[in-house]
Amino acid sequence: MGLAKQAEEYCVAKLSLNAKPSKYIAGFTTRLGRQLAIERDRGAIYCWTEQTSLSTAPCSPAALYPASKTRTSALNGKHASRLRVGQAAQYWHFEHFEEFKRFIEWYA
């Protein structure tokens, strides 16, 4: 099983799915009310989150997106309304599933 699929299945078990996933994006909401979106068509794990303090984060985001910076159009109102252009977001990349699990435990 690919990493992206494994990450999605983990999120389905741990978080609330926002809507039926599209071909490219699966959007979730954590128990804290934060949104997260996983890119489904990638080999590694790539995900988007709301901008949050990184002081206790187990890792660092690959990129920070200010509210005005464009991003994938797959981040839409149905899957991840708070991750679209107009909202600051963080973009993460994980090569290992265990690293992603630690991240979810921190973010959720």
Q: pLDDT tens across 78-105, in order?
A: 999 999 999 999 999 999 999 999 999 9
- What is the pLDDT at residue 76? 87
Q: Is the pTM of this model over 0.85?
A: yes
pLDDT at residue 14 in the model: 97
| Any domain includes 86 | no
Tell me which amino acid residue 6 is: Q
Sheet holding 45-50, edge to edge: 16-17, 25-29, 35-39, 45-50, 89-94, 63-65
- State the Cα–Cα distance between residues 56 and 79, nearest whole angstrom: 27
- Domain presence at residue 95: yes
Low-confidence ranges of the chain (pLDDT < 50): none
Query: What is the number of domains present in the chain?
Result: 1
Q: Quote the domain boundaries for residue 95.
A: 3-67+74-79+91-107
| Selection from 19, 15, 69, 22 nearest residue 41 by Cα | 22
41 in a domain, yes or no?
yes
